[in-house]
Structures are given as C-alpha cells and as structure tokens.
A and B are shown apart, each in its own frame.
Chain A
Amino acid sequence: MATEALRRGVDAGRQGLSGTAAVLCTHCLLPVPPGFVDAEHDAQFCCAGCRVAFEILDAHGLGNYYTFAVRRALPVQASDRAFGEFDHPAFRERYVTRLPDGLSRTELYLEGVHCASCVWLVERMPLIAHGVLRAELDVRRSLAVVEWDDARLPLSAVARSLGQLGYTPHPFRGVTRDAMRTREDRAMLVRIGVSGAIAINVMLAAFVLYSGSLNGMDPSVTRLFRWISLALTLPDLIWPGRVFFTGAWASLRTRSLHMDVPVALALAAGVAQGAVNTVRDAGPVYFDGLALLIFALLVGRFLQQRGQRLATDATELMHAVAPMSSRIVDDAGTRDIPTDALLPGMVLDVRAGEGFGADGVVVEGRSSVNAALLTGESAAVRVECGARVYAGTLNVDAPLRVRVEDAGETSRIGRLMRQVEESARRRAPVVALANRVAGVFVAVVLVAAVVTFAVKRHTAPDRALDDAIALLIVTCPCALALATPLVISVAMGRAARRGMLIKGGDALERLATPATLVLDKTGTVTEGATALVSWTGAEWVKPLVLALEQGSSHPIADGFRRAWSHVTAAESTEVRHVAGGGCGGHVDGREVMVGSLRFVLDAARAVDPTVRAALDGMSPVLTPVYVAVDGIIVAVAGLGDRIRDDARASLDALRAAGWRTVLLSGDAPDVVDAVGEALGFARDDAIGAASPEDKRAIVQRLAASGCVVMVGDGVNDAAAIAAASVGIGVHGGAEACLASADIYLTRPGLAPLVELADGAARTMRVIKRNIAFSIVYNVAGATLAVAGVLTPLVAAVLMPASSLTVVLASWYGTTFSRRRA
C-alpha cells in the first residue's frame, strides 16, 4: 500500500540529503549503506528494524504517517493558498539566500506549530516536496529553515506543501541579522580568547627565559622554553593571526595599501626570524611580543566593530515604533503574525490605540490616525475607506481594516530608516584622510625597512635584519587607520543613546568648530502648537470656556483643553461657532462668548476692571481671546506658540561656545522679532516672513562664508536643511526634514543641541590627541629602530602598548555622556 506521498518520499530518498549519491532510508531518512540499496524496490531501508517499522505503519493504515496531513486528529486548517508571491523576484531578493552548492535557503515562520510531533513532521518535508533537501523546525520560535533545489521546485510549491500540512508559511527576516552578528561576535571572541591564552603562556615562558638569563639557567632548559614559545606562537599566527594575512592579501590584490600589510609582514618576519634563532639556538626570539601584538590588534579590531555596530543599532531603535506583531484577517479567521512576515495584499485588523505594522489603504472602518512620527503633525488626522495609512503611525479612535501595500523595508518608515542607515556608513573626511595617510605611511615604512636592511647589510651585517624587523614592528598606523574611525563610531553610538542620531561622521566633524547656527522658529525654538500662555480672569470662568470649546477642533480650543486638562467642563446648550470670530452659547443659564474682541463686543457692554490692564499689556506675539459672561468681559487669554523652556539657556550656552545664532522663520516679522528679542538674537539675525525658498537662499548665502548648521522641524525647512553644511532635524519633525537632515534629535527641546556641539568638539579633540600621539610615537620609534637602538623584542612590546594606548584613549575619551538619555 504505497501511497503517492510514499512514492515521492522514495524519490526524495534516492536523491539524498545533499543531492549527491546518498540514498536515504524511507523510514528514518538516515543514509542507507550502499550495499543495502535494493534496486528492485521503491522503498529503501538502512536496517531490518526500519523495514519492519515501515511495514507495521504502512500495512495497518498507519501508513498515512507518510502522508502526514491526515495524521492529526484535529481538523487541519489546510491552506489552499497558491503562495504565488513567494516566487516574486522582490520576495526572493529579500528572503532567499543562495547557497554555494546551488541550493536555496529561506526561513519561514509557520503558523500552527503547537506540538512536538510538528517537528518530526516538518523535518520530513524532503519526503513530500520533491526537491526539498532539508527542513528544520525551531518549535520555540515556530521558525523553519528550508533548503531546496530551485531548479526542480519553486518556493511557492514548498510553501503550498507546508500550507497543505496545516502550517501556513510566512517569510521571516527579523532574526537573521542578529543571529549573524552573534555568530561573528562569537568567532571573534573565540579568536581573541585563544590568542590571549597563548599570549599569557608565551609571556610566562619569556619570563622564565629573562629570569634564567640573569641567573645562569642551564642552556638545555633555555632551549626547551624557546621551543615551547615557538610551538605556542605558530598556532597563534596560523589561526587567530590569520585575519591579518587575509587582510593584507586582499589589500594587495586590490592594489591598495592597508595597515594589515606591514602588520602581516612584521608578524611573518618576526616569527620567521624567531624560528630561525630558535633552531640556531642563538639570538633573540620575539614570540612574547608577537603573541601580545596579535592579541592587542584583535582586541582593537573587535572594539572597532562593536563601536560601529552601536551606531547602526541606534537607528534600529526607531524600528521599535512599528508593532512587533500584526493581526491579519483572511478566510481562516483572525490571527497574529510577526510584522516582519506581512506581505502586500494581506488585510490587517488594527484596533484603537494600536500602531500600523505596514503601509496600506483603509478598506473598512472610520477612525483618526496620529502620524506625528512621520509628519510632525501632532493633531490626529481623520481617515476612512480609501485613505492611506503608514507603518509606525497610531490608530486613535476606532478599529480599522487595512489592506497592506508596502511592508517592512519598502514601507515609508522602512525607507527612511534605510536612508539613515546608509548615510551612517558615510565616512567622515577625517577618516578618509586618515586612511589615505595610512596608505602613504605604510609605503614609507616598507621603503624605510628595505633601505635600512640594504644599508645595514654593509655597515653592520649582523644587525641588518633585526633593525629592519624592529622598524616594521615598532611603526604602527593604528592611531590613524584604526583609532580615528573608532573614536567617531563610539561617539556616534553614545550620541544615539543620548537621543541624537548622527547619520555620518562628517556631520560630527563639522559641528566640532563653532560657526553659524540657523534655527527655525515654529516647532524648533517654540513648541509648535497653540498653547495658553497667559490668563487674566477668575477660576470660575474656566469651566464655562471649556464647555463651549469642548467639541471644537480649532487650535485655540485645543490650546484651552490642553492647558486645563484638570478642569471639569460645565454643560453647554445652543453653542454656535462663527468662523473667524469665536463661539458663544448658554452655560449654566448664563450667556458666554469666547473669541476676538470684535466678536465679543457684539454682545458685551462692559469690561471687568480686573482685566482692563491685561487688555493693553498683551504681547504682540500672542493672540488675545476674550471671554464675556452675561455681557461683561470677565477674562482675557493670550494664546500663542510657547517658547521652549530650555531655549534661552541652550542658546546662551551655544553663543558662549562661539556660535553665531540666527533665527529664521516664515512667521510674521513682528512675531519673529518679539521671539528673537526674548531669546537674545541680534536684531539682524531674527529674520521673519521667509518662504522655504528664502530660507534656502539665506542658508546658501551664509554657507558661502563658512560652515552653517540648520536646525528645523518642518517640510518648509527641508530644503534649507539639505543646503546647510550640517542639517539637524528636531524631535517631532516631518519625514522630509528627517530624510534631508544629517542629524536627528529624538529628545525634545534645544538642550540636545548644546550637548551635540559639545560632544562633537570633544570627539575631534580625542582624534587630534590620538593622531599627535601616533606621530610622536612613530617618529621616535622609527628613529630609534633605524639607529639600531631598538631590538625587535622591545619593538614588539612597544607596538601593542601603543596600539592599546590609542584604543583605550578612544574608548575612554570623553566625547558624549555614556548614560542613556
């Protein structure tokens, strides 16, 4: 009773695990010894036990174990989806990895993995899907790894097979990068650990040798310890130290000089010379220094990788704005899947208060959406059928059904984050310079070593090789080629933790020198929303005003509501709104009017004496709102865009550091002047009524005479931000502004600006200190080596000591505060 699935399973068995000659046991899938392969039968077995087990299961109707789907007692929610999207090139690009042996590999999130036997079942995929060669299931994460031959079977067919088994597959991407990083880290740490252990042991042997040479140790013991050092150092060079040789080789192949070249050369020369001296039983061996050198360089490299990672990781913090899982709706009902697994065409069910996991179009429901993250707009926007919603925004009022159009990296927020990540890889000019200088440096050192060797062969033949090796070892481009990017990466990582996402090292470098700082007004130095700034009137008036403003969507009403969130509104009747005027109505039997003076004067006959003074002393920056109760003006409120609390102190600190500050706004000139005066801007440096084009022109004019930093939050600032030497987007800014900015501040207020300028200056100081140290060290070391003062041993001790000095100086150098904001 061989079922169709069984026959296919047998085929799979013949194809083998890796597509090679191995034949797999029909029952247990282990390889069948070639001698047991029975060409006359379909089914193949590795042992008699498997054959009987198979016969037992097959002959008694239990054979449907091999057809799997029927096996479960529970009704299987077999999916009959076609999974056509799995064959789409874009899908393959994102989720499928090509393996070196021509197979393809993907990770799929499986629905419905619930019991232990699911593992057994999924791992037998090679039996049911012709062309699948391996399937593994991690039951904890419901994650299957599938390897298949793309030439024989499209991924959609694999997905269909899984779907028919009742495990609807979804693409999964989230964990791969983390897993890869962990693997990389682990490999590097193992290398560091091995080279550290070897270094310690070689140092111990060296210690014996040094103390022995002082105390007249027996030559045979000395010889033994020299051989032990050699035996320990060779594996160190071959395994952990191999990275430098591969690096040097790669650099030679691309015809560029990398710092790995002299390091590899010195390591090879040093070990060769040490080995020769060990065999000759004469002359110094430098194994302790070399082992330590390998260890120190590996540690430096690891720290550098970590530093760079911190910078890119910080941008991932932003990914946290989209929910981890999303609820999708289809014929089978409603269920949660990871947001990473969303695909275009799926329908999302998003309840009030939840975030959207992908970009899409509303297909059912009516609600409002808070898109503050993308647009900077703090008020919620109404949406209904046909409206577009975006990942990372928030559904405020009522449940919505949304058809996914763009998910993951193709969504708006995903694209934005990718831009941030890409520009994060941009190199700072100082790094590029350091790399160029390092290339020249390496060439100079190589030439100097050759010249030293050639000259000394004639003058002092016995020291020629020693001195040349000492020169190669003692000179070290670390501070140039390693510590500079390290300082910048560490600074960027720490800044990110403090809420300052810096996209490129170049921005950091430019910020280090005080120049011109141009600030947008609305939303940057002010809060960007209408707020109640002054109130002259009695407390009992407040509930009356709130009663009228309750249902209004006007910014003024919004300002009152936010200011008086603790006040309980009274009941109002017959409320009427007059566009451009205000609103009036009956509250607790009184007639209340709130609005402009002209509107209120329509009905008001008198002014309460307590508010008379306030009527005249109102700041021109504020919009006055009058309140009349039963014909008497009893209160006056000043509403406007409130200046941020930390603005004055932050600007003063920047000015004290040497920055020229300019206020640039599209707002009315008198408003801009008033704000400028309040914040201590020079009269000419508070510019109002500037259109986006004007802003750009002004920034360009300023940039002609030096570095200009533009700080803004809105779409109207985007062009100016792009034109500036350094563009900074502030908290709550619009998407266009974030995309063109070099730096994005995730903390509100202007205080981060001060910290940023300060940190940038300190970062450059640490870099300069490193470079100075490196120059002094290298010049001194090279001179001593050429002069023959330095033995290779001393050189080998000095070099890692200098590397460690710069690496530690970079790590502990004060750039940005290490504490998380």
Chain B
Amino acid sequence: MIPSVAAILAASLLGSVHCAAMCGGFVCFYTGSAPRDASLVRAHVLYHAGRLISYVTLGALAGLLGAGVARAGVLAGVGHAASLIAGLLMVAWAATTIAAQRGVRLRLPSMPQAWPALVGGVLQRLRGQPLAVRAAVTGLATTLIPCGWLYVYVAVAGGTGRVLAGMLVMAVFWIGTVPALAAVGVGAQRTFGPLRARLPLASAVIVLVIGMLAISGRLASSGAAMVHGH
C-alpha cells in the first residue's frame, strides 16, 4: 500500500505547481484584501477543507462508477476493467499532452459556454459574502473546473474499482496540492522556479507511467491493497 500512496503523493506534489499557478487566482479571489491575521489563516483552512470535501466526494463517485465497470468487466470476462479503462484514459491524456509538447497541432477540448457561466455566477454571488464563506465555497467549487491534472486522479480513483480506495486516492492527491497552494502567498515562483518550464512534459510522463501501470493491472491490485491495508 505504501508504494502506491507514496507514488500518488509524489506525483501530486510535483504536479501541484500547476495547481498553484491555476488556482492562485481563486485564492486571491477569496482573500481579497483581508489583513494577515487569524481570520485569514482560518479562511485558508476552510478553503482547503472545502477542496478536500469536494475531492473526496468526487473520488467516491469515481470509485462507485469504477466498481460498476469492474463488475460488468467480470461478467464480460475482463479481470480489471475499471483499471484498464482508467489507464487508457490516462495514457490518452498523457499522449495528447506529449504530442502537443512536441509541436503536434491540437485543439484543447472545449466545454459548453454554460459551464464557465455557471461557475462564474456562483463566484459572482460570493463576492458580498464574509471571508470564511467565500473561502469554503471557493474550495468546494474547485472541482467544477475541468482541470486535466485533477481528472487524471479521478481516473485513478475510478480505476481502483472501490469507493473507499477512490476516496483515499483523492485525499492523497489533496495532501500533495496543499503545500504549493499554501505557497501562493509567499512566492510560488521562487519555490518552483526551474521546474516550471519542464512541468507539462514531466507531469505527462508521470501520468503515462501510472496509466500503463493501470492498464497492466498493477494499479488495481495495489488499489485493492490500499483499502484492505495489506
């Protein structure tokens, strides 16, 4: 179990530079011009708690879906269907990113316009709310952004084929993102300087490796081990 948790944590820590860059704006949205005191610390805690709740919920849903796929797979005679599908998704994502990185012309997948409008509307309504509410709801709404990196972990969670393991994957992912997001306030660029330019490729390679592990079925067995703890 420890190797899987460690691998997910390590990958999450590495990729979290992206989170800091992308979600930094949202952190700034809820802090606004709040003075640096205890209430701000509480707001940060609430924001991260909000994220944890929404991640774990997503993990549970993915795990549930994975469990269904796994059961269907057993009926169809495939040993680790959930893990296989999750792995294929990850490999596809990684391959696209690497191809784009190598200069292959691609289009980013687009979302219906209504989606950003919806999330934006939520944030719009939050502006007048107290700091604590702003922070907590912003945290909860984080999963509404279709971030590829986040959804790779959702795929891993689904690939475990178990609800508890899916929740655990997302919780570990969350732990990995906290340091970088907390660092938004003290200078993220300094913390990750040289890593930034290599980031897209590095994270794609990691996802590729995890994806291949999932396809080979190793991730599924370790995922099961994660829950049973042996």
Of B28, B105, B111, B190, which contacts A121 at CB under 8 A? B28
Q: How many whole Å from A111's CB to the nearest CB in chain B? A: 15
A607 interface residue per 8 A CB criterion = no
Of all chain A residues, which has the CB nearest B117? Answer: A59
For B17, list chain A residues within 8 Å (CB): 30
**B124-A139 in contact (CB<8A):** no
Of all chain A residues, which has the CB nearest B115? Answer: A52
For B33, list chain A residues within 8 Å (CB): 72-74, 115, 117
Q: Report which residue of B104, B108, B124 has the largest number of chain A beta carbons within 10 angstroms of its beta carbon.
A: B108
**A48-B109 in contact (CB<8A):** yes
In the complex, per-residue mask of A574-591: 1 if CB is within 8 Å of any chain B CB, else 0: 000000000000000000
Given contacts A35-B102, A71-B28, A73-B33, contact A56 B116 (CB under 8 A): yes
8 A Cβ contacts from B82-135 to A: 97, 99-111, 113, 115-117, 119-121, 123-124
CA of A121 to CA of B22, assembled, Å: 13
CA of A55 to CA of B121, assembled, Å: 11
Q: How many whole Å from B48's CB to the nearest CB in chain A? A: 14
**B185-A139 in contact (CB<8A):** yes
**A22-B197 in contact (CB<8A):** yes
CA of A74 to CA of B199, assembled, Å: 36
B222 interface residue per 8 A CB criterion = no
In the complex, per-residue mask of A16-27: 1 if CB is within 8 Å of any chain B CB, else 0: 010000100101
B76 interface residue per 8 A CB criterion = no
Q: How many whole Å from A508's CB to the nearest CB in chain B? A: 44
**A119-B111 in contact (CB<8A):** no
**A34-B31 in contact (CB<8A):** no
A499 interface residue per 8 A CB criterion = no
Q: How many whole Å from B96's CB to the nearest CB in chain A? A: 8
For B25, list chain A residues within 8 Å (CB): 27, 53, 57, 65, 120
CA of A136 to CA of B187, assembled, Å: 7
**B108-A48 in contact (CB<8A):** yes
Q: Name the prevailing secondary structure of the B interface residues.
A: helix
CA of A28 to CA of B101, assembled, Å: 17
Number of interface residues of B (CB under 8 A): 58
For B124, list chain A residues within 8 Å (CB): 60-62
Could you say which of B52-60, B141-149, B161-169, B170-178 contacts chain A?
Answer: B141-149
**B104-A119 in contact (CB<8A):** no
For B105, list chain A residues within 8 Å (CB): 35
A217 interface residue per 8 A CB criterion = no
Q: How many whole Å from A362's CB to the nearest CB in chain B? A: 38
CA of A622 to CA of B209, assembled, Å: 96
Of all chain A residues, which has the CB nearest B198? Answer: A31
Given contacts A48-B110, A49-B22, A52-B116, contact A35 B99 (CB under 8 A): yes
Of A33, A49, A57, which contacts B147 at CB under 8 A? A49
CA of A27 to CA of B28, assembled, Å: 13
Given contacts A36-B108, A62-B123, A137-B187, contact A17 B197 (CB under 8 A): yes
For A60, list chain B residues within 8 Å (CB): 117, 120-121, 123-124
**B28-A65 in contact (CB<8A):** yes
For A48, list chain B residues within 8 Å (CB): 108-111, 146-148
B40 interface residue per 8 A CB criterion = yes
For A10, list chain B residues within 8 Å (CB): none
For B29, list chain A residues within 8 Å (CB): 57, 62, 65
**A53-B26 in contact (CB<8A):** yes
Of B31, B35, B100, B146, which contacts A52 at CB under 8 A? B146
Number of interface residues of A (CB under 8 A): 48
8 A Cβ contacts from A48-107 to B: 48-53, 55-57, 59-62, 65, 71-74
For A71, list chain B residues within 8 Å (CB): 28, 32
**B184-A120 in contact (CB<8A):** yes
For A123, list chain B residues within 8 Å (CB): 187-189
For B189, list chain A residues within 8 Å (CB): 123, 134, 136
CA of A27 to CA of B116, assembled, Å: 14
Given contacts A35-B104, A35-B105, contact A55 B34 (CB under 8 A): no
Q: Report which residue of A62, A114, A121 has the largest number of chain B beta carbons within 10 angstroms of its beta carbon.
A: A62
Of all chain A residues, which has the CB nearest B106? Answer: A35
8 A Cβ contacts from B4-19 to A: 17-18
Q: Report which residue of B97, B119, B189 has the largest number of chain A beta carbons within 10 angstroms of its beta carbon.
A: B189
CA of A258 to CA of B135, assembled, Å: 65
For B199, list chain A residues within 8 Å (CB): 30-31
For A30, list chain B residues within 8 Å (CB): 17-18, 21, 196, 199-200
**B111-A52 in contact (CB<8A):** yes
Given contacts A30-B18, A47-B147, contact A57 B120 (CB under 8 A): yes
B156 interface residue per 8 A CB criterion = no
A45 interface residue per 8 A CB criterion = yes
Q: How many whole Å from A165's CB to the nearest CB in chain B? A: 13
For A184, list chain B residues within 8 Å (CB): none
Given contacts A47-B147, A61-B124, contact A28 B100 (CB under 8 A): no
Of all chain A residues, which has the CB nearest B104? Answer: A35
21 A-B residue pairs with CB within 8 Å: A17-B197, A27-B22, A33-B97, A33-B200, A35-B104, A38-B107, A45-B108, A48-B108, A49-B148, A53-B145, A56-B116, A56-B123, A56-B145, A57-B25, A62-B124, A73-B32, A114-B35, A115-B34, A116-B184, A116-B185, A116-B186
Q: A35-B102, A47-B22 are in contact. List 7 more A-B contacts (CB 8 A).
A: A33-B100, A33-B101, A34-B101, A46-B200, A47-B148, A65-B28, A74-B33
